[in-house]
Amino acid sequence: MNYNEIGIKKLQEGKMEEALQAFGKAIDENPEDALGFINFGHILTEVNDIESAERAFQKAITLDETSATAYYGLANLYFNAERFTEAAKIYEKAIHHGLEGGDAHLMLARCFNRMDQHKLALPYYQRAVEINDNDEQAHLEFGIALATLELFELAQPQLEKAVELMPESSDGHYNLGVLYAVSTDRTEDALHHLKKAYTLDENNFMARDVYNMVASGLENGQ
């Protein structure tokens, strides 16, 4: 078992300090191997040593400019630091270099969302749900982004899928209820989901407020 494998094992066991030492030894043993720096960057991120983690990922990229995992680790670091413009560029590089799965697409969409560039987020949300149709969070966020742009017919199946995948999500029920209320004549369905939202989360005051508004309009024949 090499030091990278030892480090991963220690990390899985929750032994952060020992994992950090193992990855450090992996670098000392083979300083030209990008993998050691990638693993080192991940563990440094876990222990919140952000500056050192950034240097580790950047070193990995210097050693292997095609390492999708190195780009992804660095992009996550920037995203968590709210450096969304930088993160978006690096997520694009991770995708370009063949990172598997829909995570990078989802994170890139989130970057554009945080920058209020909702239209730019849409194709990446679309790709994320194409890659993993069971990603409930991707469906929810995709639906919200579409609804924000008033693309309600496109948003509806995404929000319905999100609620199907996570029926205990107050946020999912709230957004679906609001969509039904503002873009369809399915008032009873809107009320059902809005009530479900504040039943699941008693602090979801917006759901209760919208429910009362819709219910009042129904009573008044509006």
Quickly list DSSP for the chain.
--HHHHHHHHHHTT-HHHHHHHHHHHHHH-TT-HHHHHHHHHHHHHTT-HHHHHHHHHHHHHH-TT-HHHHHHHHHHHHHTT-HHHHHHHHHHHHHTT--SSHHHHHHHHHHHHTT-HHHHHHHHHHHHHH-TT-HHHHHHHHHHHHHTT-HHHHHHHHHHHHHH-TT-HHHHHHHHHHHHHHSS-HHHHHHHHHHHHHH-TT-HHHHHHHHHHHHHHHTT-
Domain ranges across the chain: 1-83, 167-222
pLDDT score of 221 more than 60: no
In tens, the pLDDT along 166-188 reads: 999 999 999 999 999 999 999 99
In the CATH scheme, what architecture does the domain 1-83 have?
Alpha Horseshoe (1.25)
Would you place residue 222 in the very low, low, confident or very high pLDDT band (cuts 50, 70, 90)? Answer: low
> pLDDT confidence of 96, banded at 50, 70, 90?
very high
Mean pLDDT across the chain, nearest whole number? 93
pLDDT tens per residue, range 141-150: 999 999 999 9
